[in-house]
Amino acid sequence: MKALRFSVTTPQFVALKALGAVNARAYYQGPLATVSYDDIPEPELPGSDWVKIQTLFCGFCASDLNLIFLRDSPSASPFTSFPCVLGHELSGRIVETGSSITGVQSGDLVTVAPNLSCAARGISPPCQACRAGRVGSCENFAEGRFSPGMFSGICRDLNGGFAPFMVAHESQVFKLPEGMTAVEGALIEPLTIGLQAVYDNRPEDNDHVLVVGGGVIGTMVVQSIRALGCKCRVAVSEPMPYAAEAARKAGADEVVSGDLFDHTVRITGARRYKPMIGKDILMGGFHRVFDCVGNTKTLNAAMRCMAVGGRLSIVGIGHDVKLDLTPLWLKWQQIHGVFSYGQVEINGRPQHVFQAAIDLARDKRVSLGYMATHTFSLADYIKLIETNMEKGKHKAIKTMVAF
């Protein structure tokens, strides 16, 4: 079967960093390209507690683009293995089940929580993170029966959703309810990112909340805040008009661009102070911040515009970030890392955030389908990549491969 495969070697990495600075296409076209449209074997079930899925839709994530362009920190490389087949935002139909599978059956429409944690890797007893229900932070991503990989799509042994078929462990599989479309099912994974972030940093009704970045994840954060009934005032910092409109549709009270400090003073009543040199700093400001970009500029601005005792969730994944930590100690702030997902508490009981997200979509408390703006065939992967390189030009929110 044909699949979109990623691979890189150290010499290739060095060469692309030089050549790619002149010609960005070198990353995805030509002899040094990190991705290729290749034939791979159709996967077989690794065990009795696995299922085989025929892929219907798979979303293209910003993390896929960062991987292709080698923007990720090398610190994560021990927890990946190449060559790998990309794709972790997907929906599909089960076509085969292992003998011990009971919760789902052939023909079911499902989505996949892609984490390759202790359960999928056959590790017992599970690690501390998995015992706590935070499978997205499993300590054994480089251990167990499979090659290193934090999730399906960056593991050599288990292909992701940019292929017609994939396999998933029973712990990863979530059945979609009647009436939910396959497109909506492929958007459950990015919804869970926003939903987990909000559960981890849940605003109070009288809070001022800032969401930095109005793309897919930022919009999912806003939708999650509103779906959970939070009446806080939400501002989204987003310069692109098409993304700003999506954020407003998601429930943002206002969308701002330009000088964030001016907007923070206007919205929250914060006081602005000018240092001898360097950026201004505010007293007062936003109580909760969700940075869905996560670079040096956005994180430093977020901390300076956050109130005393404020909590910053880093949802976007940046690289080589440099922070001035003065606001952290001066304003008694907290910085919270957000990666992937796990269990959340609902009505006093633990539940996987994937099921919580599915329930919100089923009950129409979030709206997903409108976010899928572009679909491509897998063979058109170059056009898919180039559309994501210039999302503003194409007014693209979520792009997908349709099988």
* CATH assignment of the domain containing 236: 3.40.50.720
Q: Are residues 125 and 209 in the same domain?
A: no
In the prediction, which pLDDT does 35 show?
98
In the prediction, which pLDDT does 317 show?
84
Region 43-49 average pLDDT: 98
Q: Are residues 155 and 19 in the same domain?
A: yes
- Whether residue 349 is contained in a domain is answered as no
CA-nearest of 27, 383, 3, 12 to 158 is 3
Q: How many separate domains does the chain show?
A: 2
Question: For 189-338, where are the E strands, in sequence order?
Answer: 208-212, 233-237, 254-256, 271-273, 281-283, 286-291, 306-314, 334-337
- Whether residue 356 is contained in a domain is answered as no
- Whether residue 343 is contained in a domain is answered as no
388 residue type, one letter:
N
Percent of the chain whose predicted confidence (pLDDT) is above 90: 96
Q: Are residues 34 and 166 in the same domain?
A: yes
Q: Are residues 12 and 152 in the same domain?
A: yes
Using DSSP, state whether 257 is helix, strand or coil: coil
- Whether residue 363 is contained in a domain is answered as no
Rounded to two decimals, what is the model's pTM? 0.96
Q: Are residues 43 and 166 in the same domain?
A: yes
Distance CA 65, CA 72 (A): 10
Which tens digits make up the pLDDT trace of 255-274?
Answer: 999 999 999 999 999 999 99
Q: Are residues 65 and 28 in the same domain?
A: yes
Q: Are residues 23 and 166 in the same domain?
A: yes
Which tens digits make up the pLDDT trace of 126-162?
Answer: 999 999 999 999 999 999 999 999 999 999 999 999 9
In the prediction, which pLDDT does 340 show?
84
- Whether residue 122 is contained in a domain is answered as yes
Distance CA 165, CA 153 (A): 12
- Whether residue 208 is contained in a domain is answered as yes
- Whether residue 180 is contained in a domain is answered as yes
In the prediction, which pLDDT does 64 show?
96
Region for 87 from its dihedrals, namely left if φ exceeds 0, alpha if ψ lies in -120 to 50, beta otherwise: left
Q: Are residues 27 and 11 in the same domain?
A: yes
Q: Specify the residue for token string 């389908």.
A: 369
In the prediction, which pLDDT does 339 show?
80
Boundary residue ending a domain (337, 359, 394): 337
Which tens digits make up the pLDDT trace of 3-43?
Answer: 999 999 999 999 999 999 999 999 999 999 999 999 999 99
Q: Are residues 74 and 206 in the same domain?
A: no
CATH number at 21 reads: 3.90.180.10
Q: Are residues 127 and 226 in the same domain?
A: no
Q: Are residues 117 and 14 in the same domain?
A: yes
Q: Are residues 251 and 378 in the same domain?
A: no
Which tens digits make up the pLDDT trace of 180-239?
Answer: 999 999 999 999 999 999 999 999 999 999 999 999 999 999 999 999 999 999 999 999
Region 297-314 average pLDDT: 97
At residue 319, does pLDDT exceed 80? no
Boundary residue ending a domain (318, 337, 356): 337
**Domain of residue 161, residue span:** 2-187+368-402
In the prediction, which pLDDT does 270 show?
98
- Whether residue 351 is contained in a domain is answered as no
Which tens digits make up the pLDDT trace of 321-377?
Answer: 999 999 999 999 999 998 888 999 998 999 999 999 999 999 999 999 999 999 999
At residue 72, does pLDDT exceed 90? no
CA-nearest of 284, 280, 291 to 310 is 284
What are the angstrom distances between the C-alpha of 214 and each of 141, 259, 387?
A: 31, 16, 17
